[in-house]
Amino acid sequence: MPDLSPTPAGLFKDDHQTLRCVWCRATPEYQRYHDTEWGFPVHDDTRLFEKICLEGFQAGLSWLTILNKREGFRQAFEGFDIDRVAALGEADIARLLLNPGIVRHRGKIASTLNNARRAQALRDEFGSLAAYFWRFEPPAGSRPETITSLSLQGLTTSAESVALSKDLKKRGWSFVGPTTMYAFMQAMGLVNDHLEGCHARPLALARRAAIG
C-alpha cells in the first residue's frame, strides 16, 4: 500500500517510497550521484581536485550539465591526475577548446591547468590536498541543528567557504569564489546538507563518524 503521508518540503518520494532531496529529481543519474557521492566525505586527492575543477566549470551552468559531461572531462583532463594536468600547456588549451565533450571555455580550461600547479604547491606544503581542505570543515556547533529546506534557504556561502576562497585566491587559484567553495564543501562532505528525512543523510553522517 503506498505511503500517503505528506512529503516534507524540499524532498520527493520515488516509486519505491524513498525520500530524496528534490534537487536530484531530474534523472536517474542525478539520483545516483545524490545517493552515493554528494555529501559523503572525500579524502582522495584526485577526487578533490576533480571536484574543485568541475565546480569552476559549473559557474553559470547547472551541475547536471557538468555531471552529464563528467566522463568527457575525465578523458580530456588526464583523469584529473594533478601532475599530468599541471604539465599541460597552451597547445593543450587550444586542443581542448575543440573538444565537444567538455565545456569549451578558455578561461575555465586555463584555470584548471593553473589550479593543478597550485595544487602541487598545496600538496608539497600540507602533504595532501585532503589535509588542507579538511582544515576548513566547520565546527558542528556552527551548523543548523536541523537541516531543512527552510534552514538552507538562501544559504550559498558560509564563514568557512569565504575563508577557503580567500586563502585559495591568495595562493593563486582561480574560479574559487565563496559560493563555488560552498558547493564544493557540500559535495565533498565537509558539510552534510542532505535534508532531514532524506534517506542519504544518515548514511553520509555515518560515513563521517567512521572517519573520526
DSSP letters along 164-209, please? HHHHHHHTT--S--HHHHHHHHHHTTSS--PPTT-THHHHHHHHHH
With CA atoms as reference, report the closest residue to 13 among 198, 209, 201.
Answer: 198
Nearest to 138 by CA among 201, 77, 181: 181
183 to each of 23, 87, 106, 178, how far by Cα in Å?
Answer: 13, 27, 22, 9
Decide if 62 contacts 55 (C-beta within 8 A).
Answer: no
- Let me know: does 97 contact 104? Beta carbons within 8 Å: yes
**CB contact set of 20 (below 8 Å; sequence gap of 6+):** 11, 12, 14, 31, 34, 35, 198, 199, 200
Grid cell 531543512 — which residue? 148
Q: Which residues are designated catalytic?
A: 33, 55, 63
Q: And the C-alpha cell for 69?
A: 559531461
